[in-house]
Homo-oligomer: A and B are copies of this chain.
Amino acid sequence: MDPIYNFSAGPAVLPKVVLQQARDEMLDWHGSGMSVMEMSHRGDEFMSIVATLENDLRELLTIPQNYKVLFLQGGASSQFAMVPMNLLGEKNKADYINTGQWSQKAINEAKRYCAVNVAASSEDAGFTYAPTLDQWQLDPAAAYVHYTSNETIGGIEFNWIPETNTPAPLVADMSSNLLSRPLDITRFGLIYAGAQKNLGPAGLTLVIIREDLLAAPLAGTPTLFNYQAHAKNHSMLNTPPTYAMYITGLVLSWLKQMGGLTHIEKVNITKANLLYNYLDSTDFYHCPVVKSDRSRMNIPFTLKDSALDRTFLQQATANGLIQLKGHRSVGGMRASIYNAMPIEGVAKLVEFMKAFANQNA
């Protein structure tokens, strides 16, 4: 059977070797006689899995010792509330940059806890660009500055880290581009990411937080939404999502073997260029995002004639190119090409798109 290439935006494709190892270890992890799913989260076996997971993450991202790594549940959507609940402190304002649907969700949830200053927005152009720093109108009273480093739906990515020059810590939702490139963690106060893009299966949420930001949350914050409580308990405040952590550990191990973030960034640039260069060479397809702010991870595009959308998707699926339908809110197509998408998958997609354009021009 020809391989399937899965362009889902998340949960998304995982490295084949990771799935093979998970399959081989399913009934017996390292001679323990147990599946990882059956292990007590406080037992020696699972503690060794967590230790390797955290070490590999710290190594890949060069996470300094004054940052805590938390393995949580609830997805990025839970973080939309946890961030204000934990970082506001005595303040009642926060800065948000609005670059699309995920920013907006974060903003809407934050508004329930504080006054949100939308310091910059690309709504004026249908969220097709990332506002440059000179456009940001930051509030000096803000407790933090939040932005979405990659908009999974709109396909906008910040190719730069904002230098805000304010004491307010920088907070980033990196759900869909964390681990896709090297990153200077020291520029951030807090980074969070749902796992189901570049890290592993859905159900695990990663938080990287600078220790000095661990403080008492707002009154009424559920204990399970308290970063400080999670940090104090080494992410074992209650039973963590053990199997998702194990798979993420396998993914990180694969990433290290591949050559780490410097290597994967090169691969990701090559893959993205392959698709963008073709999109820019034809008027049969169109990518709405300005060139400087295009995501390497999520590439939305439309067909000149949207009446062909359905045929395109049918034929793509028949060719083993699946999950290309764009998000219901924007229509068209979207190719998500995370770390685990092989270059062959992108090449095959471009080849198919060319043939489809020729047949339907």
Contact residues of A with B, CB < 8 Å?
1, 3-4, 6, 8-14, 16, 19-20, 22-23, 26-27, 32-35, 37-41, 43, 73-78, 80-82, 85, 109, 112-113, 194, 196, 200-204, 218, 220, 222-225, 237-244, 247, 320, 322-323
Contacts and interface: CB of A to CB of B under 8 A. Distances in A.
A247 B37 contact: yes
Contact of A202 (B74, B196, B223, B239): B239
Nearest to A225: B222
Given A6-B34, A40-B8, A202 B81 contact: no
Contacts of A222: 78, 80-82, 85, 109, 222, 225
B11 A224 contact: no
Contacts of A240: 202-203
Contacts of A43: 8, 323
A35 B9 contact: no
Given A201-B242, A201-B243, A202-B239, A33 B4 contact: yes
Most buried by B among A85, A239, A320: A239
A320 B224 CA distance: 35
A244 B200 CA distance: 13
Given A6-B34, A8-B43, A11-B40, 11 more contacts: A9-B40, A12-B38, A19-B27, A43-B323, A74-B238, A77-B223, A112-B223, A113-B220, A201-B243, A202-B241, A222-B222
Contact of A26 (B26, B225, B237): B26
B26 A22 contact: yes
Most buried by B among A27, A85, A320: A27
A209 B101 CA distance: 31
A22 B40 CA distance: 20
Contacts of A6: 33-34, 38
Given A4-B33, A82-B222, A224-B75, A239 B10 contact: yes
Contact of A4 (B1, B34, B218): B34
Nearest to A84: B222
Contacts of A247: 37
Contacts of A11: 37-41, 239, 242
B27 A20 contact: yes
5 contacts: A4-B32, A41-B202, A74-B74, A75-B239, A241-B244
Contacts of A20: 26-27
